[in-house]
Amino acid sequence: MKLNRRDFSRLSAMTALAGALPNLDAQTGGEISQRKFRWCIVALGRISMGHFMPAVELSKTGKITALVSGHREKAEKQAAMYNVPSPSIYGYDNFDDIAQNKDIDAVYIALPNSMHAEYTIRAAKAGKHVLCEKPMATSVADCKAMIEACRKHNVKLMIAYRCQYNPVHLKAIELIRSGQIGQVQVIESGFGFPIQAGEWRLNKKMAGGGPLMDVGVYSLNACRYLTGEEPGDIKANSSVIDHDGRFNEVEENDGWTMKFPSGILASCNTTYGGDTGGGGFFKVHGSKGWIAMEPAFPYQGKLLTAHLAGGQDLNMPEPDKDPWDFVRQADHLAECVWENHEAKTPGEEGLRDLTYMSQIYVAAGLKGL
């Protein structure tokens, strides 16, 4: 989604997130100042330029004050759009200089998966809070190192699980927790798309793996927050069907099952070769009804439907559009810093998912993470 500054102003006036600014600034220990929460964007790609940066402009808390890119000309164009001063444009070679920039509170890391750990750790050493895209890293060891670095340098680490902040996903959780479909029995979920040749996600070193690392994590994470439980007894398979050169390094398809402590069974699949409806899905079958979301994971257009225990049918479209998932994330980290509390999706959440993804790969006969 591309918005000009006039669009930003109009949308900001028309739409605002509920709730007031937090009362305390944890960094100063006094009344919160009126200044914005200041973001440094690390990597100028599709997700940052098309979604997160417009979201910061729409947010109630944020402002973009620095950029990190290997392409100076691209960075200068973005800097002009967001009024970022030229000295606050960094390359990867002088990234550590952000430590001296007092106009940066946090970094948003939208680099390829294999670079998440390095730049999270360097940001922590620079004294900056971190919002890191998922998957958190490409190894369990890297996840642990990221958590330790942020703990050591007393900065917040949040992983960008945007669906956990989305109103229709939160409604699905509320319906399940309140017993509206009885006891959950089984869950189905899938997410995938036909990937184009040449994508960095097909490079094993950069991505860490195939579709499981990219879009399969949505189904895995959804099963966890929908049940409120941690899975065990994981069984899995992977395959390559299209031998056209795209999948020389990573798998094309992954399918896995999980059993949760309560006995709930989950069956999930993810693919780089097929289409799961343009945004993935999940369906939760309970003893007295069901809940479904399709599409479940796109940036906008999610739709929650349900048949509830009392016989009522629910049809709940997502109430807002892209980039509001990203707005909620940006505001959440700002409030966590100002109020000095842990993020809803901290580094430990990313570590848990990567641990399970490693188990899925091992169960499928592939190398773990």
Write out the catalytic residue numbers: 134, 218
Phi, psi of 275 (to 5 degrees): -120, 125
What b/e readout covers 248-272, taking b as 16+ CB neighbours within 10 angstroms?
eebbbbbbbbbebeeebbbbbbbbb
* Contacts for 22 with CB less than 8 Å, ≥ 6 apart: 32, 335, 338, 339
Write out 119-180 in H/E/C secondary structure: HHHHHHHCCCEEEECCCCCCCHHHHHHHHHHHHHCCCCEEECCHHHHCHHHHHHHHHHHCCC
- Taking the C-alpha atoms of residue 112 and residue 208, their distance in angstroms, rounded to an integer, is 10
Given a contact cutoff of 8 angstroms between Cβ atoms, the answer to whether 227 and 264 are in contact is: yes
For residue 270, list its beta bridge partners: 191, 254
- Taking the C-alpha atoms of residue 322 and residue 144, their distance in angstroms, rounded to an integer, is 32
- Taking the C-alpha atoms of residue 338 and residue 348, their distance in angstroms, rounded to an integer, is 21
- Taking the C-alpha atoms of residue 148 and residue 143, their distance in angstroms, rounded to an integer, is 9
Coil, strand, or helix at residue 95?
helix
Nearest to 303 by CA among 311, 314, 312, 313: 314
